[in-house]
Structure 1
Amino acid sequence: MKGPAWPIAALLVGYPVWWALGFGGLSVIVVAAPMAVILWRRRPIRVPRGFGLWLLLLAGYLVSGLMLAEMPPGTYGELGSGRIIGYGMRLALYTAILIVVLYLGNLTERELPQLRLVRMMGALFVTTVAGGLLGVLFPSFSFTSPVELLLPGWIGENPFVQNLIHPTAGQTQKVLGYAMPRPEAPFEWANAWGSNVSVLLVWFVAGWWVHGGRRRRASAVVLIALAAVPIVYSLNRGLWIGLGLAVLYLIVRVGGRTRVALCAGVAVAALAFALSPLAPLFAQRLDKPHSNDIRAFTVTATLAAATHSPVIGYGNTRNATGNHRTITTGKTQWCTGCGHPPLGSDGQLWLLIMTQGFTGAALYVAFFAGAIRRHWRDRSPIGLAGVLVMGLVLLYMFVYDGLVTPLSLYLISFAILWRNA
């Protein structure tokens, strides 16, 4: 793509290449550099309403770095390279995403047509579906990326960094009592795949169905049907709830013939799903709430720890002493499932409470809730889609970490909504 819009095309359309190189979710930091140069040359820079809330969130994260060496009660460990690397990566990501939002909002419609940007998100949905199918069919597929080869061991072997730079197709977990593949390609975690596929699906429908011709709509039906396979195999209840609420939101907000057609389409899709081989797997997952006890333990421990630094948090996550099964820590012969669950790892809300205190969590909620309030009256297809994504952000903060790729897609969606105004 020619002109100043090439960095966002490189990020969204070219994401499979970033993933294969080992940049993956960190690619937004790379493309933010030329975006910053373009912005600097275009001064003065327009900013969206609510922009100050994100600046305060970023400033609060800088202040929270003062607490990196502190250990709240109920946690253990010492300040090491892993904690510092994680803090630095999150700071770089928060800053890069800020630049991306400003960059998108300052490009004119001629430089980057709104529909083209929406369809770029749709292109990433196609990539996500392909990665999901790869994770279902070949869950053990992985390879060493060029970035992984170049990084020194003390950085590349860090578990957080390893998830970002080592491309894998899926995770095999015993969620149902036996090994099951959960797709994660081309993202860093299975839960990140679940969050991202739902957000991208919203934009895919807006760009390929609502604003598409016959061929594009026919392709959309096929791709969404294919997406159902990894969506069910993800065993991701948060994703399923998000999709259900998204359908309900659209039924409520659209009217006339569109509502009738939507209800008919949902009924046909539900019947087809009920008769498909995917339905029993879906029912099995609902019958086995595998992670409820783990989440209850980590959320309770996170809130208890955060009360000792409620305003600025601790800058990064901390490992809990014990887990939901035992007060001992670490794996043993009699307890292979025992370990050190990181506090703040079960949702962006809990991550913010742990890393930036209740102040950071409040700023995050206010930022996205404010976007919903300001754009609620925008009943255009893109406006409805943008408000829906902002609602999904607030839903997913209870169950999904926003880092790394989900937060990028959340803020790009915010920028699309801002541009639509």
Structure 2
Amino acid sequence: MWPLAAMFGLVPLWWLAGGFYLGWPLLGALLFTLLATRGRVTLPPATRIWLLFLAIVVASATRLQSPVSLLTFALRLSFYLTALIVAVYVYTVARERPDQARVLVPLCAFWFGLVALGWLGVLVPRFELTTPVEVLLPGGVADVPFVNDMVHLGTAEYSVRSLNPIYRPAAPYAYTNTYGSAYAMTLPCVVAYAMLCRRGLLRWALLVSLPLSLVPAFLTLNRAMFLSLGVGLAVLGVRAVLRGNTRVAASIVAVLVLGAIVMLFIPITELIGNRVRSSDTNSDRLSLYAEVLRRVGDSPWLGYGAPLDVDTVSADAPIGTQGQLWLVLFSHGVPALLCFLAWFVAAALNCARAISAAGQWLAVVPVVCLVQAPFYGMANQNLAVAFFAVAFATALTERERLTRRRAAVLPA
């Protein structure tokens, strides 16, 4: 368990060092080395779909138009590979450990780091720091805006065009949207652990952290975060009603009540409305999406390898950003997008078979990811968080079904 604990549990340390982004694939390589040393392992379901996706991504490198784009391409590819390695590692550990709940502890530690650094963004939003990794990088590399965002430490994202609050929590990420994406993915995992373990200090710490986490999460003003959580809770609620699971239904009500209480003190609807009215975020996104659809017809099979900077859109961002769906479609083509979405659909269907309340909460994670795909990028650490949750949920569901089969055979 120690490699997972180092990877997910020491996020504040990696963030302070400036290695949260660039060091993440190295931690994935550590997991791969341990798996290779072990030998034969059982792969999680739908792994072949993701391997096909990776093969198409590698082939799309032939469409890159500059050597500089090769560096960002390699970094995105490393995040895709790391997510798969995390899934295989977690799936292996969760299948073999008698106490499955402990496998979720690194993800719970990741949650604590997310909440603590989110509050840092609330309390000291202007805090910045030059990190050791930033100093060690060559000047030409560290000065690239994309790289500088990853290695230069900041607690919040600033927008000149937004009304108050103009600072939106982002740490440990470079962008506040990524923080909101991670929050929506990790919240179901925290509730799942609280349901797996009925006692213990960690459980009570998680329960205390839940209401505290809502403040930095709400102040991100991330509409897609609220949308994805809302859809996830709706799906979870429908399943709970159909299966007559009162415990799941009660937990949903508890989460909604906490959110309603926080909204009494934070006028989230008004703040989001002010932000939308005082910025061009909607029109900028739509112009980028329209340009992707216009250009993908010229290279539908392998895309363009990476996002491109053009002057034909109103947004400052490159074409192929502002959403994982558009990134994959533009950079790697239609077949890659189909494989990407197919993996999450397969994960959602597989996890939906969960019997326990914890398993049903974890089954929400791939649903949340599918809702976020058109709006948030996932070529970052969040993809590994999602794969962690899905791999654990799959192993938990398999053990639950096996236990039920054995119980049915015992009387005979």
TM-score relative to the length of structure 1: 0.86
The aligned counterpart of 1:275 is 264
**1:239 counterpart (200, 220, 225):** 225
The aligned counterpart of 1:414 is 390
Change (3 A) 1:394 1:115: same
Deviation at 1:131, TM superposition (A): 0.9
The aligned counterpart of 1:265 is 254
Distance 1:372 1:217 in 2: 26
Amino acid at match of 1:248: A
The aligned counterpart of 2:401 is none
**CA displacement, residues 270-290 of structure 1 (integer Å, 9 cap, x when unaligned):** 5523432x0x24323136534
Contact kept? 2:285, 2:322, Cα under 8 Å: yes
The aligned counterpart of 1:50 is 46
| Secondary structure class of the residue paired with 1:222 | helix
| Secondary structure class of the residue paired with 2:157 | strand
Distance 2:285 2:117 in 1: 27
Amino acid at match of 2:6: A
**CA displacement, residues 239-293 of structure 1 (integer Å, 9 cap, x when unaligned):** 11122223323322223532553465356435523432x0x24323136534111
Amino acid at match of 2:317: P
Change (3 A) 1:358 1:265: same
Deviation at 1:353, TM superposition (A): 0.4
The aligned counterpart of 2:24 is 28
For structure 2, which runs of at least 5 residues remain unmatched after alignment? 399-412
Deviation at 1:43, TM superposition (A): 2.0
The aligned counterpart of 2:215 is 229
Distance 2:355 2:334 in 1: 33
Deviation at 1:369, TM superposition (A): 0.2
Contact kept? 2:115, 2:213, Cα under 8 Å: yes
**1:400 counterpart (368, 376, 380):** 376
Is 1:101 the counterpart of 2:87? The answer is yes
**2:359 counterpart (375, 383, 400):** 383
Distance 1:398 1:232 in 2: 20
For structure 1, which runs of at least 5 residues remain unmatched after alignment? 70-78, 325-338
The aligned counterpart of 1:309 is 299
Distance 2:380 2:98 in 1: 25
Change (3 A) 1:111 1:247: closer
Deviation at 1:210, TM superposition (A): 5.0
Contact kept? 2:126, 2:154, Cα under 8 Å: yes
Deviation at 1:38, TM superposition (A): 1.7
| Secondary structure class of the residue paired with 2:112 | helix
Change (3 A) 1:162 1:111: farther
| Secondary structure class of the residue paired with 2:298 | coil
Stretch moving more, 113-122 or 307-316 = 113-122
Contact kept? 1:63, 1:312, Cα under 8 Å: yes
Deviation at 1:222, TM superposition (A): 2.9
Q: How does 1:350-361 map to 2 (within 5 A)?
A: 350-361=326-337
**2:137 counterpart (121, 128, 151):** 151
**2:272 counterpart (285, 300, 304):** 285
Q: How does 1:93-172 map to 2 (within 5 A)?
A: 93-107=79-93, 109=95, 113-172=99-158
Change (3 A) 1:274 1:106: closer
Amino acid at match of 2:357: P
Q: CA RMSD in A?
A: 2.2
Distance 1:22 1:93 in 2: 17
**CA displacement, residues 328-360 of structure 1 (integer Å, 9 cap, x when unaligned):** xxxxxxxxxxx6421111110000001111111
Q: How does 1:201-240 map to 2 (within 5 A)?
A: 201-213=187-199, 216=202, 218-240=204-226
Distance 2:388 2:255 in 1: 28
Contact kept? 2:195, 2:357, Cα under 8 Å: no
Distance 2:175 2:54 in 1: 24
Distance 1:35 1:268 in 2: 39
Stretch moving more, 195-204 or 220-229 = 220-229
| Secondary structure class of the residue paired with 1:307 | helix
The aligned counterpart of 1:328 is none
Distance 1:209 1:259 in 2: 9
Deviation at 1:35, TM superposition (A): 1.8
The structure where helix makes up a greater share of residues is 2
Deviation at 1:319, TM superposition (A): 1.2
Change (3 A) 1:264 1:354: closer
Distance 1:126 1:106 in 2: 25
| Secondary structure class of the residue paired with 1:182 | strand
Distance 1:267 1:68 in 2: 46
